[in-house]
Amino acid sequence: MNVLLLSPGYPADMPEFTRGLAEAGARVFGVGDSPIDSLPTMVRRSLTEYIAVRSLWDEEAVIASLRERLRGQQLDRIECLWEPGILLAARLRETFGVSGLNVEQAQCFRDKELMKQALDTAGIRTPRHIAARTVAAVWEAVEVIGFPVILKPIDGAGSADTYRINDVDELRAVLPRLRHVQSVSVEEFVEGEEYTFDTITVNGKIAYYNIAWYRPRPLVARSNEWISPQVIALRDIDHPDLQEGVKMGFDVIEALQFDTGFTHMEWYRKADGEVVFGEIGARPPGAHQVDQMKYACDFDVFREWANAITQGRISENIRPKYNVATIYKRARGVGRIKAIEGIDKLQNEFGKHVVWNTLQEIGSWRRDWRKTLVSDGFIMLRHPDLAMTMEMADKVGSELHLYAG
């Protein structure tokens, strides 16, 4: 099978997906706007051919380069696992006659208003929402929905440029920060716990799913620098509190007619048990949450995704064995990392449960916590008992400190 993979070297886990395709027997044709020498070794080893383009966002030039370089090669799949490239992949499928999400379908995964309208039609509970392209339209939408509201880009990813607005003064303060955003969704704020529903889907049927719990909600974590955000992939995906969310996840996949590949959905569970849709992307979650799935189930999630793409199936009965918590750390201060406190004590206390430590080294520049959830690195740990997992995660959050200066 010939698979064209957009941006095989970026974001950070794309090399593993590229490797998975090659190990599944695919001939992998990568296309990107980075020089081949800059690609990770794993990517270069896994690619059959790399097609470097000046810019991935010059659609006509990308098509022309592919026509020239792939002359005589029949593409079987065109895959993209990076949010900004989802529409480009759909346009390439239509151009080259390849099955998968077409442009109309892909629009429902990129445009949050179209997404919610489709789900409203299917009877799935979404937050009340109104699209707005002008400041006046935002004010009118808020008048209809009422405070508090959420403002977010129509085609955004994650929680970038997303704000909770509680009153008129906050709205006035936030609107200038959104001048660069062409269109926003004004949404009802839903109070509740926030979870993910991540799937590997094969021919429209969910073959594997993961549920992760955000502690606290991403919007809260993005608004408070002192927080060490946590994401916990849950072992007990059959817990009664999660079942309405699971059902909604299956209904969303069906309503949006997703075919084969990875999806990442976010949803809310209110105190009264009602579940409310958040949003869905036709790609995996970021911030190494795919690695969480690997450690939760002890399986090669990247290879199984590739099996879904190339063979139309994945291994059966993949189930979580552990809860896996990722705790993202933010250094205090500015400049270079100069000290890390608490790591030795925590390592001695429960180091055997730590599966990955990516904390920045002493001397490294502190990262901008507003631009990346990974921030200054993370600790990933696992345990079969959720209470113990949370206890360890909370200690990492409160007792491990990085200082910059």
CA–CA dist 91, 143 (Å, integer):
38
Contact predicate 103/94, CB 8 Å: yes
34, 47 in Cβ contact below 8 A?
no
Determine contact, residues 335/365, Cβ cutoff 8 Å: yes
Residue type, 251: D
Quote the CA–CA distance of 206 and 160 in Å, as a whole number: 28
CATH class of 192-321: alpha beta
Containing 46, the helix (H) or strand (E) segment is helix 41-46
Pairing of strands 184-188, 129-132: antiparallel
Q: Which residue has the tokens 């390849």?
A: 98
The CATH code that applies to domain 2-100 is 3.40.50.20
Q: CATH 3.30.1490.20 spans which residues of the chain?
A: 128-188
CATH of domain 323-405: 3.30.470.20
pLDDT tens digits, the chain, 405 residues: what are they? 999 999 999 999 999 999 999 999 999 999 999 999 999 999 999 999 999 999 999 999 999 999 999 988 899 999 999 999 999 999 999 999 999 999 999 999 998 889 999 999 999 999 999 999 999 999 999 999 999 999 988 876 656 788 999 999 999 999 998 988 888 989 999 999 999 999 999 999 999 999 999 999 998 998 899 999 999 999 999 999 999 999 999 999 999 999 999 999 999 999 999 999 999 999 999 999 999 999 999 999 999 999 999 999 999 999 999 999 999 999 999 999 999 999 999 999 999 999 999 999 999 999 999 889 999 999 999 999 999 999 999 999 999 999 999
Bridge partners, residue 38, by sequence: none
Show the tokens assigned to 287: 């911030």
Alpha-carbon distance of 198 to 252, in angstroms, equals 12
At 343 the pLDDT is 96
Q: Identify the burial level of 43 via C-beta atoms within 10 angstroms of its C-beta, where 0-12 means exposed, 13-18 middle and 19 or more buried.
A: buried
Helix/strand/coil for 200 = strand
Quote the strand ranges of 289-358, DSSP E.
323-328, 337-341, 354-357
| Nearby residues of 95 by Cβ (< 8 Å), 6 or more positions away | 63
**Cis peptide bond prior to 384, omega within 30° of 0:** no
Q: Please, where in the chain does CATH 3.40.50.20 lie?
A: 2-100
Residues of the chain with CATH 3.30.470.20: 192-321, 323-405
Please give the CATH topology (third level) of the domain spanning 128-188: Dna Ligase; domain 1 (3.30.1490)
What is this structure's pTM?
0.92
